[in-house]
Amino acid sequence: MVMTVPEFKHAKRAGRKIAMVTAYDALFARIVDQAGIEAILVGDSLGIVVQGKDTTLSVTMEEMLYHTEMVARTARRALVISDMPFLSYQVSIEEALRNAGRLLQAGAAAVKLEGGRPIANRVRTLVECGIPVMGHIGMTPQAVHQYGGYKVQGKAPMHADNLRADAKLLEEAGAFSLVLEAVPSDLARDITESVSIPTIGIGAGPYCDGQILVLYDLLGLFDEFVPKFVKPYAHLKADALQALRRFKEEVECVKFPTETESYH
């Protein structure tokens, strides 16, 4: 079944949990799609896992467009959602609309914006113009310097109340779903029960309507920094290291190539 925005929203009403991962290129998007994962996020986390930077802050619109095109080319059934990078939606509503539209033209079916109250009017405008929006609250990585690091948010009662209010505001503004990142499980449960749109958790416990992980974390490819909420379902970095070391050895002792890999 091809996943659409209405179908995504329907999953919550039907009590079906949603599995989402990130992908940044055509090869992995095809694999994720074939695995039946419902939605792919072209995340600005590519700044960290693909580009090797410490934060997502320098990811540009041009880079997001490039990666969105690659992912959309091979994702046949999964819903493709693209992150709006830092400064692509904060400066003005007009810029937010133009940039979100460009991501849809590159092949995304929806965009994701970080933040609550300050961006609710952007969300409303995009939705009114036919652009589906996923919200993202809790630990929003584009605000990392405000937090002083990638830290759990919403622990203090006042902050938790702000996040509850943000979730309602984003729902009212027309967001079709909400990512809850690095918040206590009980708060994520409260928010999930208080909104009619699906919540997608990352480091937000088991009560969300769905879960998302960064693909390279899930596959055990990225080990520079592994947050507590990551569960590696494979160990592809270890496999890759083993394969590469074997290749090097076989080249050195002329065990590769053999007759099988040679032309005559």
Q: Which is nearer to ligand KIV, 3 or 182 (CB)?
A: 182
What's the rounded Cα separation, in Å, for the pair 116 and 163?
8
Choice among 62, 181, 250, 259 that is catalytic = 181
Determine which residue in the list 32, 111, 123, 214 makes contact with ligand KIV, applying CB under 6 A: 214
Decide: helix, strand or coil at residue 261: helix
Q: Which residues within the stretch 12-71 sit at the binding site for ligand KIV (CB under 6 A)? A: 22, 41, 43-45
142 counts as binding ligand KIV under rule CB under 6 A: no
Q: Which is nearer to ligand KIV, 131 or 134 (CB)?
A: 134
Q: How far is the CB of 171 from ligand KIV (least distance, A)?
A: 18
In the residue annotation, 181 being an active-site residue is answered as: yes
Pairing of strands 79-83, 18-22: unpaired
Structure tokens at 132: 């589906």
103 counts as binding ligand KIV under rule CB under 6 A: no
202 counts as binding ligand KIV under rule CB under 6 A: yes
Decide: helix, strand or coil at residue 135: strand
Decide: helix, strand or coil at residue 84: coil
Q: Which is nearer to ligand KIV, 184 or 227 (CB)?
A: 227
- Among 72, 16, 15, 20, which Cα is nearest to 41's? 20
Q: Which is nearer to ligand KIV, 37 or 41 (CB)?
A: 41
Q: Which is nearer to ligand KIV, 90 or 256 (CB)?
A: 90
What binding mask, one character per residue, do residues 171-200 give for ligand KIV by CB under 6 A, x or -?
A: --------x-x-------------------
Q: How far is the CB of 229 from ligand KIV (least distance, A)?
A: 10
Q: Which of the residues are catalytic?
A: 181
Site residues (vs ligand KIV, CB under 6 A) = 22, 41, 43-45, 83, 179, 181, 202, 212, 214
